[in-house]
Amino acid sequence: MAKRPTMADVAAEAGVSRALVSIVFRNAAGASEATRERVFAAAGRLGYRPDARARLLRSSRSGLLGVVFALDGAFHAELVEAVYPAAAAAGFDLALSARGPRRTEAEALGSLLDLGAEALLVLAPDTAAEELAALPVPVVSVLESQEHDAVASVATDEAAGIGLAVAHLRGLGHARLVHLDGGAAVGSAARRAAFRALEGGGAVVVPAGPTDSAGMAAAAILLREREGSPDGAPTAAVVFNDEAALGVVHVLRSAGVRVPEDLSVVGYDDSRLAALAHIQLTSVRQDPDALAAATVHAAAEALAGRHEHVLVPPSLTVRASTAPPAGSPSTTVR
Amino acid sequence: MAKRPTMADVAAEAGVSRALVSIVFRNAAGASEATRERVFAAAGRLGYRPDARARLLRSSRSGLLGVVFALDGAFHAELVEAVYPAAAAAGFDLALSARGPRRTEAEALGSLLDLGAEALLVLAPDTAAEELAALPVPVVSVLESQEHDAVASVATDEAAGIGLAVAHLRGLGHARLVHLDGGAAVGSAARRAAFRALEGGGAVVVPAGPTDSAGMAAAAILLREREGSPDGAPTAAVVFNDEAALGVVHVLRSAGVRVPEDLSVVGYDDSRLAALAHIQLTSVRQDPDALAAATVHAAAEALAGRHEHVLVPPSLTVRASTAPPAGSPSTTVR
DNA sequence: CGCGCTGTCTAGATCGTTCTAGTAGAGTGG
DNA sequence: CCACTCTACTAGAACGATCTAGACAGCGCG
């Protein structure tokens, strides 16, 4: 295990000064094409790679963004994946730090600060906005919009997402919709409010939750109501998220209610669950690339002292769990 | 955004030299109790935290472990979560780097090397062992055992896992087992071989894959055989992983075959899928804490030049997808 | 020829730590 | 009173990069 070569080694090998090697590697102005090649050749021969620690230490503008995410967060993995290219395009490096049951958000934030992150991207933060604002670097709250002036935020437009789901179902001919909400989960209030706003006074909302068992419980209620009034029963359900929707679909099918023929179901998140071959859930999709781009942009702006609050519009992935209602012309005719 | 305080600031505030502050913060010998307190008080007043970049740069023993993981890896999230406390206990810091469809393993490895990681933990590496061995720091291959002398490895004992599943089913009274394998997926060969070794010449293996659709396809084959010979058909299936098992269960139930009454199903990984309330899959569990501890230990050993190859025994999480076979006394009697 | 300019290159300070070598002062023993 | 050890502390050189200031050559221009 030979010692890692340094800039001085490369300089000696190429017969130039360290400073020049630095210039070449930052591809800054001030080096001739010929020397550039010579330096690169020497570096290649030695297997040199610049040491990020020293680089970060010296340059005030470190170019390092810290990302705090939850390992079990439904959508976090996809989003982090999308942030890598977005950050690279903007000239930022990324340092990841996970939070979870065994590691608090504060610990995750702290370790990123220690590494010298210039700004922090916090996915679905637990921490209160005031505390985030008090950190020594700017923070972008991702997936959770914030009102605080000193905390930028990038989130999906929940109202638009619910709007897409409702419009899709209405377009298929569904007259009576029901929303199974997320209970106390993050984002539940916004989605519920959006549904109520669209449906007006007659909006039917069943309290549920973000898990498949919550979905199962809510579906059981739905079934009971369905038996009570077979005609007035809803023909389509907008469920808080995919996991709950899975529980809903399972209970319905077990009870002999066909999906989508008897009841259409729309999920939310378009997670891997929704795409499973035997599920094929129509689901509201948050666009990871758009969110990632907006997030990196917000970080850059925040570094300049401007704290943006961005809402990214979602889209709808239509799969097999939605169809026109049983009585509608488009299914009976053909 | 005030500038971050440095060791010199703390030294000035406490009226001592920088070196002494360093001593106090590393809690090395050579400072009186009184000064220790004075320094901590001063640091607290200024909100000082040591700069990891400078610290890493100076001290050759950086204490930083790099972790490469896949954001969509079934078991990776749990494992990474468990590695944090294990690493902290051994005095290591962690830097995470993700690989995925948008970011190659080589990029992930490179960025960790740049950050100055002292050793790398690579979860389910893509890269060939020789290439890993050629990296300038020691590597631990996690979740995938390696034979290479210069690459340590920590993995689950696949044979033991399959053994647990088979023993569980045998214990319930099942005589005819079938294994739906993982096709070309990582670990599939080992699990298949283990199953064959246990079952001997009459081992029934159906080629499948690691996805739910592969599980569905394999289940369809199973159903056809079942129709052909209702008596000789297997009464229990050991499936390559949970996702495939999900597809299997779905197809079986849709065809009117009850799980577990008519056919018991065992998954592998004990992932979140297996725990879903409407699935309740019995599954082979890889113990994240044991793996994490073994991994960190292997890293420390690798740093000392000793490359361990460790197999961690799995356990079995019994849920509702397994039961004694239909004709057995324990179900008929009671 | 002298002057400024541009392009290429270098010396040396600097970032915030750790580490090595050493100093001052107190205590001990002969 | 000197030599010695021990404890508490400090000065200054690393670490490996970046950055500032300036040197030197070659060129065009008056």
pLDDT tens per residue, range A46-60: 999 998 888 888 876
Reference A132, options A153, A146, A151; nearest CA is A151
Q: How far is A198 from chain B (nearest CA, A)?
A: 32
Task: State how far the Cα of B94 lies from the Cα of B119, in Å rounded to an integer.
Answer: 10
- Whether residue B56 and residue A56 make contact (CB cut-off 8 A), yes or no, is no
A62 falls in which pLDDT band (50, 70, 90)?
low
Alpha helices in A97-234 (DSSP H): 105-115, 129-134, 158-172, 188-199, 212-228
Contacting residues of B for A95, CB less than 8 Å apart? 95-96, 115
Amino acid at B78: E
Q: Are A267 and A274 in contact (CB under 8 A)?
A: yes
- In degrees to the nearest 10, what's the CA dihedral of B176, B246, B144, B138? -160
Cis peptide before B230 (omega within 30 of 0): no
Reference A40, options A68, A20, A57, A60; nearest CA is A20
Contacting residues of A for B103, CB less than 8 Å apart? 81, 84-85
Amino acid at B86: A
Q: Are B283 and B269 in contact (CB under 8 A)?
A: yes
Per the DSSP assignment, residues forming a β-bridge with A66 are A95, A120
Q: Are A115 and B95 in contact (CB under 8 A)?
A: yes
Reference B215, options B174, B181, B263; nearest CA is B181
**Three-class DSSP labels, B5-23:** CCHHHHHHHHCCCHHHHHH
Is B4 part of the contact surface with chain A (CB cutoff 8 Å)?
Answer: yes
Give the containing element (helix H, strand E) for A178: strand A177-180
Task: State how far the Cα of A241 lies from the Cα of A269, in Å rounded to an integer.
Answer: 6
- Cβ contacts of A56 within 8 Å, gap of 6 or more: A62, A63, A64, A115, A116, B53
- Whether residue B56 and residue A53 make contact (CB cut-off 8 A), yes or no, is yes
pLDDT surpassing 70 at residue A123: yes
pLDDT surpassing 60 at residue A22: yes
Task: State how far the Cα of A1 lies from the Cα of A74, in Å rounded to an integer.
Answer: 41
Q: Show which positions of strand D are touched by protein (CB under 7 A).
A: 7-12, 14-21
Report the nucleotide nearest the CA of residue A18, measured to C1'. C10
User: pLDDT > 90: what percent of chain B?
Assistant: 71
pLDDT at residue B86, as a whole number? 94
Give backbone dihedrals phi and psi of B305, rounded to 5 degrees, phi first.
95, 0
Nearest CA in chain A to B5: A136
CB–CB contacts below 8 A, A to B:
130
Task: State how far the Cα of A138 lies from the Cα of A121, in Å rounded to an integer.
Answer: 9
Owner of token pair 């989003």: A79
pLDDT digits 0-9 by tens, A187-238? 899 999 999 999 998 899 999 999 999 999 999 999 998 888 877 889 999 9
pLDDT digits 0-9 by tens, A287-321? 899 999 999 999 999 988 899 999 999 999 999 99
A334 falls in which pLDDT band (50, 70, 90)?
very low
Task: Name the residue closest to C7, CA to C1'.
Answer: A30
Strands of B254-323, DSSP E: 264-268, 282-285, 309-312, 315-317
Task: State how far the Cα of A325 lies from the Cα of B5, in Å rounded to an integer.
Answer: 65
Q: How far is A71 from chain B (nearest CA, A)?
A: 5
Cis peptide before A230 (omega within 30 of 0): no
- Whether residue B111 and residue A98 make contact (CB cut-off 8 A), yes or no, is no
> What integer best gives the mean pLDDT of chain B?
91
Task: State how far the Cα of A321 lies from the Cα of B79, in Å rounded to an integer.
Answer: 34
Length of chain B equals 334
Task: State how far the Cα of B79 lies from the Cα of B144, in Å rounded to an integer.
Answer: 13
Mean pLDDT of the region A108-125: 90
pTM, 2 dp = 0.85
Give the containing element (helix H, strand E) for B302: helix B288-303
Length of chain A equals 334
Is B118 part of the contact surface with chain A (CB cutoff 8 Å)?
Answer: no
Distance A30 CA to C7 C1' (A): 7
Q: Are B174 and B325 in contact (CB under 8 A)?
A: yes
Q: Are strands B315-317 and A177-180 parallel, antiparallel or unpaired?
A: unpaired
Cα–chain-centroid distance for residue B191? 16
Reference B140, options B92, B182, B199; nearest CA is B92
- Whether residue B53 and residue A51 make contact (CB cut-off 8 A), yes or no, is no
* CB interface of A with B, residues 53-92, below 8 Å: 53-54, 56-57, 71-72, 77-78, 80-82, 84-85
A224 sits within 7 Å of strand D by its CB: no
B227 falls in which pLDDT band (50, 70, 90)?
confident
In order of their start, the domains of chain B are 1-60 (1.10.260.40), 158-286 (3.40.50.2300)
pLDDT digits 0-9 by tens, B98-110? 999 999 999 999 9
Task: State how far the Cα of A209 lies from the Cα of A184, in Å rounded to an integer.
Answer: 7
- Cβ contacts of B3 within 8 Å, gap of 6 or more: none
- Residue B142, CA distances (Å) to B121, B299, B310 in order: 7, 10, 10
Task: State how far the Cα of B50 lies from the Cα of B74, in Å rounded to an integer.
Answer: 36
Q: What is the largest CA-CA distance in chain B?
A: 89
